[in-house]
Chains A and B, each alone.
Chain A
């Protein structure tokens, strides 16, 4: 129950509060949208708080957003073990930077009387929340290793399920409490954005890089009338020409599309021979499906799958077969002469693994270069995080 609230109810509450609140504030209270800098009142400690905090949090936030938007690209990057270690190390270092910065900011706000003059309760709440959130994130990174690698497969689908209005908390419901706390904390902060100074995030002046240095505004109606008047005549002509041209273009296009529609629903006119070919093609497909179904039925009815003669099994080269779940599997001869049966489906993205066993007794998944021990099914450190299930029955 509490899980459902934290992982499904809270997110929607937060998102609605954030979106509605932000629109409200920008529309109705544009005068008070500001970063509310207190550098003017106190600048010495601010430097050691604001700069590290922002440097750290901006990179960390952008990385989070990137994983959310491009989980595939992120997976490809983190599949490389060196990149993964590098990313995690940088992330942890930045988290420490953020914590240091935020501690300075909090102390500054509590100690300096001038800064207190512009401090509200919400400011303190936000600061505390941010600090807790960073500490939570850092503990997740330290206690459940390689979060950069597992997040795209767990948290990202959860987030997308929220965003696409098909909430599915099962992706993260079984995760440790720390992770869930980090997720819930994020939702609380998102919900607070428009009601605190955090609103300044949405005013990041990136357009400054592109804009011309001088801004001149004419408020003169006469000028607007005069200068724009000439333009208006020209633009009226342009409007009429444009409308006519667009209308005829769209009309022509529409005729073409309609023609296709009509023909589609009429269906093609076929000759006897073509109809015969079509029927034959369908028959082949039906037969193939029937074969497949027979095979399935056999699997369900019989207790065993005939993999092959024991003598033909090899210790170094696996033999592919289809297991009960209609998935590829591999059979090897073990050291003790007994067969080893193991699923050939990679736990990472479901690729079929290769059949050759290397010197360490491992088989390779070629997709993202991960190795699995054929005896235990354990993966090496690499993208897949779950053990390969051993097919339990049948010899």
Chain B
């Protein structure tokens, strides 16, 4: 048993309102740079729809993820996009790599025309110009081009997940009265069996052992772009200016300094849960070789019970810190994924074992218009699975590799627990409809409490980076007395609360220095900071930075930087 810990997330899709705040938060923090304008490490898609990049789910063209190879008994996984030798020939031209045309050409507007145009008969306009070439362009696509366009013949109807539906079901889905849609926020899944890591010719991609975050080592990346093709979720992006690949880093600099990831932190609907899972890394590759229908169960079987003393002992033996183990034991993710079986991985049939999970939306029919009058559905409220708007096969295609009973299971549990929350009217619903819920009474109560926590506290339970010197999520420290996490001490990057097995103070200081260096060297690479240098007249740890990219010119610069910045 090779126990590893993993920082995992759950997205509760019933609560997502599609506001894109997460995307914007991420954009502003990480990808507001030259070469990265088109990147959306976090994006929110409307389903059914074609997504971003267009039709990313169609692996016949993009060749992402793993495929099963070998006969019975010798089943194993192979990358769909390349084998070891063809990887070398694809360095020069990769036939399956998505290009700019599959995402969109980033643009801005000639805002200055609004001010500088000579007086005339017409109102001046700000025309769109490409952020790559600087030339005028016609905007033909964007990061959210099919937002809220369910039922549209160009976008929604081309959703690859509709292939599994019968003609009648599809027609029904697009019937004007029944048109429905859901939102799907997507970040990197930080898979446990990542195909991007396996595809990288330079070995620049790696998975961190203690929290499972998948990262690109920017110093080792040589821009061969195999990962862009290999990632079935298309969550690795090629920076056309630096010639390197970039991806969601699960805001590890924030995690390590006790802050929640930016997308998580900014989520308006509070749909995101974060926590630690323990899993058996030795069983991962085999778990991903079962037939499609069994993949969800197979993935669940690799996730270990954090209360099992054997598991805890094995985790300790593997060097996982007490804080991570403790976090895993209180993890909301474990409850969602294993105890309640509510959260499912996205497109598990790509066989990368994604470690982000989604609670499929109920999208219940709460009312309809009959002869011109809109009315609630009365007794049938929140009860009838078959009448839910999104066909169950469609959700199964997204979340369980086509296994319908699994999705039905999550929906009945959701329905049951939702009823608990309903007004007294809902509580009057007959006992028969209650029996839809598979979860027993206690579990359901617990579930309800956990699903709508009052603050971020219940939602977040990541561990620390394990050396004990890095603080916990600041969001989690509340003062209501129920807080079972130690107070966050941000000033104690070095030192602070040290676990029993903590290494020496010197080591802790070194770790803190390294953490700071990581953040700043990364920022430096991103073009945000040209030189990171400590100056004697500055306070210890304070950094003097010069921005070099042109990005500042578009935004108000922080006052303390003004005058010292050189803008391109």
Taking Cβ atoms with an 8 Å cutoff, the residues of A that contact B are 30-43, 46-47, 50-51, 53-55, 113-114, 116-118, 200, 203, 205-209, 211, 213-227
Contacts of B91 in A (CB 8 A): 35, 54, 205
C-alpha gap A156/B84 in the complex (Å): 35
Q: Which residues of A contact B499 (CB under 8 A)?
A: 222
> A213 CA to B201 CA in the complex, in Å?
10
A222 adjacent to B501 (CB under 8 Å): yes
**Which residues of B, 412-463, contact A by the 8 Å Cβ criterion?**
none
Roughly how many angstroms separate A41 CA and B239 CA in the complex, as a whole number?
A: 10
Cα A209 to Cα B525 in complex, Å, equals: 29
Q: Are B243 and A221 in contact (CB under 8 A)?
A: no
Expressed in whole angstroms, the Cα–Cα distance for A88 and B222 within the complex equals: 34
Stretch among B317-325, B368-376, B532-540 lining the A interface: B317-325
Whether the Cβ atoms of A50 and B319 lie closer than 8 Å is no
A41–B223 Cα distance when bound, in Å, is 14
Interchain CB contact under 8 A, A51 and B93:
yes
Q: B242: shortest Cβ distance to chain A, in Å?
A: 7
Question: Is B51 an interface position by the 8 A CB rule?
Answer: no
Report the Cα distance A180→B448, complex, angstroms: 82
B97 at the interface (CB under 8 A from A): yes
Inter-chain pairs besides A205-B91, A219-B465, 12 sampled, C-beta below 8 Å: A30-B220, A35-B223, A37-B225, A40-B99, A43-B93, A205-B224, A208-B87, A209-B85, A217-B208, A222-B468, A223-B210, A223-B466
Per the bound structure, the CA–CA distance linking A36 and B321 in Å amounts to 40
Q: Tell me, yes or no, whether B398 is within 8 Å of chain A by CB.
A: no
Give Cα distance in the complex from A51 to B89, angstroms: 9
Within 8 Å by CB of B202, from A40, A43, A205, lies A205
The residue among B218, B243, B320 with the most chain A CB atoms within 10 A of its own CB is B243
If A35-B243, A50-B93, A208-B88 touch, does A219 touch B222 (CB 8 Å cutoff)? Answer: no
Chain B residue nearest to A35 (CB atoms) is B223
Q: How far is the CA of A47 from the CA of B93 in the complex (A)?
A: 6
Closest 9 CB pairs of A and B: A223-B319, A205-B201, A34-B243, A218-B209, A213-B198, A36-B243, A30-B219, A34-B223, A220-B466
B503 interfacial by beta-carbon distance below 8 Å = yes
Q: Is the CB of A114 within 8 A of B133?
A: yes
Bound Cα distance A37, B320 (Å)? 40
Q: B92 contacts the other chain (Cβ, under 8 Å)? A: yes
Beta-carbon nearest neighbor of A200 in chain B: B222
Contact B92 A54 (CB under 8 A): yes
B100 within 8 A of partner (CB): yes
- Residues of A near B543 (CB, < 8 A) are none
* Known contacts A215-B197, A220-B209; is-contact A43 B97 (Cβ 8 Å): yes
- The B214-228 residues at the A interface (CB cut-off 8 A) are 218-225
B132 at the binding interface (Cβ < 8 Å)? yes
From B135, B210, B222, contact of A35 by CB (8 A): B222
Verify A205–B100 contact, CB threshold 8 A.
Answer: no
Give A318 to B238 CA distance when docked, in angstroms. Answer: 75
Is B223 in contact with A209, judged by CB distance below 8 angstroms?
no
Known: A213-B198, A214-B198, A221-B511. Contact between A39 and B97, CB under 8 A? yes
The answer on a CB contact under 8 Å between A43 and B84 is no
Q: Are A222 and B206 in contact (CB under 8 A)?
A: no
> Contacts A34-B244, A51-B92, A205-B88 given: A220-B132 contact, CB under 8 Å?
no
- For residue B105, which residue of chain A has the nearest CB? A114
A33 in contact with B222 (CB, 8 Å): yes
CB-based contact B133/A116 at 8 Å: yes
Residue in B closest to A29 when the chains form the complex, CB atoms: B219
Could you tell me the distance between the alpha carbons of A213 and B221 in the complex, rounded to whole angstroms?
16
Query: B92: which A residues are within 8 A, CB to CB?
Result: 50-51, 53-55
Contacts of A227 in B (CB 8 A): 318-319
Q: Is the CB of B318 within 8 A of A214?
A: no
For A211, what are the chain B residues with a Cβ–Cβ distance below 8 Å?
Answer: 203
A-B contact pairs, 9 of them (CB 8 A): A31-B524, A39-B94, A39-B97, A40-B225, A40-B240, A41-B132, A51-B93, A213-B198, A220-B466
Output the residue of B91, B94, B220, B242 with the most chain A CB within 10 A: B91
B319 contacts A224, C-beta separation under 8 Å: yes
Chain A residues with CB under 8 A of B219: 30-31
What separation, in Å, do the CA atoms of A117 and B129 have in the docked complex? 14
Query: Which residues on the A side are within 8 Å of B99 (C-beta)?
Result: 39-43
In the docked arrangement, what's the CA distance between A205 and B209, Å? 24
Q: Within 8 Å CB of A30, what residues of B?
A: 219-220
> In angstroms, how far is the closest chain B Cβ from the Cβ of A104?
12
Q: Is B205 part of the binding interface, using a Cβ–Cβ cutoff of 8 Å?
A: yes
Contact (Cβ within 8 A) B242 A34: yes
B150 at the A/B interface (Cβ < 8 Å)?
no
Q: Which residues of B contact A214 (CB under 8 A)?
A: 193-194, 197-198, 207
Which residues of B are found within 8 Å of A224, using beta-carbon distances? 319
B531 touches A (CB below 8 Å): no
Q: How close is B37's CB to chain A, nearest CB, in angstroms?
A: 12
Chain B residues whose C-beta falls within 8 Å of the C-beta of A40 in the assembled complex? 97, 99-100, 225, 238, 240
Report B397 CB to chain A, min CB distance, Å: 27
Known contacts A39-B94, A43-B97: A34-B194 contact under CB 8 Å? no
Contact check: which of B84, B133, B197, B319 meets A222 at CB < 8 Å? B319
Among B304-341, those with CB < 8 Å from A are: 318-321
Cα A365 to Cα B468 in complex, Å, equals 80
A121 to B472, CA, bound (A): 49
Question: What is the 8 Å Cβ interface bit string for chain B, positions 501-530, against chain A (1 contact, 0 not)?
Answer: 111000110110000000000001100000
Contact of B123 with A by CB under 8 A: no
A114 touches B87 (CB 8 A): no
Residues of A within 8 A of B194 (CB): 214
Task: Return B490 CB to nearest CB of chain A, in Å.
Answer: 20
The answer on a CB contact under 8 Å between B221 and A216 is: no
Complex interface: chain A residues within 8 A of B510 (CB): 221
**Contact, CB under 8 Å: B209 / A223:** yes
In the assembly, what is the distance between CA of A208 and CA of B199, in Å?
9
Shortest Cβ distance from residue B282 to the other chain A in the assembled complex, whole angstroms:
12
- Verify if B31 is at the interface (C-beta below 8 Å from A): no
Collect the chain B residues with CB atoms within 8 Å of residue A35's CB. 91, 222-224, 243
Measured CA separation A36–B242 after assembly (Å): 7
- Are A220 and B321 in contact, CB atoms less than 8 angstroms apart? yes
Residues of chain B with a CB closer than 8 A to A38's CB: 240
Contact A217 B207 (CB under 8 A): yes
Q: Contact check, A39 vs B93: say whether CB atoms are below 8 A apart.
A: yes
Distance of A125 Cα from B95 Cα, bound (Å): 28
Contact A208 B197 (CB under 8 A): no
Q: Give the shortest distance, in Å, between A122 (CB) and chain B (any CB).
A: 14
* Docked CA distance A213–B30 (Å): 28
The answer to whether A218 and B223 touch across the interface, beta carbons within 8 angstroms, is: no
Chain B residues near A225 (CB-CB < 8 A): 501, 503, 507
B467 at the interface (CB under 8 A from A): yes
Which residues of chain B are near A208, meaning CB under 8 Å? Answer: 84, 87-88, 200-203
| Closest B residue by C-beta to A219 | B208
Q: How far is the CB of B438 from chain A (nearest CB, A)?
A: 36
- Among B88, B203, B319, contact of A226 (Cβ-Cβ < 8 Å): B319
The residue that B203 contacts in the complex, of A47, A215, A223, with Cβ under 8 A, is A215
CB of B439 to closest CB in A, whole Å: 36
Complex interface bits, B373-415 against A, C-beta within 8 A gives 1, otherwise 0: 0000000000000000000000000000000000000000000
| Residue among A34, A41, A47, A114 having the largest count of chain B Cβ atoms under 10 Å | A34
- Residues on B with C-beta less than 8 A from A206 are 88
